[in-house]
Each structure stands twice: as C-alpha cells, then as structure tokens.
C-alpha cells in the first residue's frame, strides 16, 4: 500500500482524489497548501509519501512548497504532480521540473493514468452489462410472490387405524 500526499485547499479536489485512491487500497494524507510553515514541513516528512499531488492556485506559497519539497532530503526524489486549472499548467510544470501535471477538473481515468506511472493502480476491466427484458423481471418477481405449493408427502398410518 502506497502513501499519497495531496497538498490542496480545495475540498472537492481532495474528496475526488481520496475516493479514487481509496479504491486502489492506498492511503491519502491531505494537507493545506495555502501557506508553508514548519508544521506542514514536518507533517509531509512524517507521511513519507510515495507520490505528492500539489495544487497550484493563486496562493503565494505554492511555488515555495514545491521548492521545499525538492530541497528537503526526505522528499527530494518523490514524484510531484501539479494539479491546476491554469491554461499554462504544462508549461509551468515543465519549467519547474515537476514529474507530471493534471488539469482540474479531471476525469478519474486521467488521474489513474497519471498516478499509474508511480503507483500500483489496478486496471479497470470493462464488464459487459446484461440487459434483462422487463417482462422477464416481472415474471420472476411474480414467481417469488406466490405461496409455496404444498408438497405431497406420503404418510403411513400407524397400525390400528
């Protein structure tokens, strides 16, 4: 089981990531990314993540958090993936040297593809859906509602009857 740290101030983003990560059996540690302080640094170090998701917003400390992650000995080699709705996300990620980027909002398949480069992600198998005609369902339901038919059992009379 892997550990994923998500640095984000957007609750809906953290919720979407958490739901997807949980289905894979990995653990998500969400932290705010609005400001960099010693408590955040220590919490990220203690989590010892396998992958870090960093939301880039208009907050001033977002680039500082990235530089901290790259400068700190415990997170230097951990893949960092940028999450943002900015139109120039790919250019920004390339310029800073991020390991990946994902435009927000995203589809779960996109998150699966990006994280699949760094984590064991189960492959989703598309199972065929069986369509059962409505009359068949109605017949089956009516059979379940019928009282059980009495079964005939052979009873032998005791002597002297």
Q: 72-83 pLDDT, tens per residue?
A: 899 999 999 999
Domain boundaries, the chain: 3-115
Q: Whose structure tokens read 């969400």?
A: 30
The candidate with the shortest Cα–Cα distance to 107, out of 129, 95, 93, 124, is 124
For the cut 90, the answer to whether the pLDDT of residue 51 exceeds it is: yes
For the cut 90, the answer to whether the pLDDT of residue 29 exceeds it is: yes
Q: 91-122 pLDDT, tens per residue?
A: 888 988 899 999 988 888 899 889 888 887 66
| pTM, to two decimals | 0.72
- What distances in angstroms separate CA 76 from CA 22, 52, 68, one per listed residue? 25, 11, 9
Q: Are 82 and 93 in contact (CB under 8 A)?
A: yes
Mean pLDDT of the 50-69 span? 82
CATH node for 3-115: 3.40.50.2300
């Amino acid at each position: 089981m892997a550990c994923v740290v998500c640095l984000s101030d957007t609750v809906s983003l953290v919720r979407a990531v958490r739901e997807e990560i949980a289905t894979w059996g990995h653990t998500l540690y969400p932290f705010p990314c609005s400001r960099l302080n010693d408590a955040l640094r220590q919490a990220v170090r203690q989590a010892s993540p396998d992958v870090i998701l960093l939301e880039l917003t208009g907050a001033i400390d977002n680039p500082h958090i990235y530089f901290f992650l790259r400068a700190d000995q415990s997170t230097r080699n951990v893949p960092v993936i940028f999450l943002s709705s900015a139109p120039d996300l790919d250019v920004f990620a390339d310029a800073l040297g991020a390991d990946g980027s994902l435009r927000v909002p995203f589809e779960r398949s996109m998150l699966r593809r990006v994280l699949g480069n760094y984590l064991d992600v189960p492959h989703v198998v598309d199972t065929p859906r069986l369509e059962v005609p409505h009359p068949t369902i109605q017949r089956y339901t009516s059979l379940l509602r019928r009282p059980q038919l009495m079964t005939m059992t052979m009873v032998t009379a005791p002597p002297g009857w």
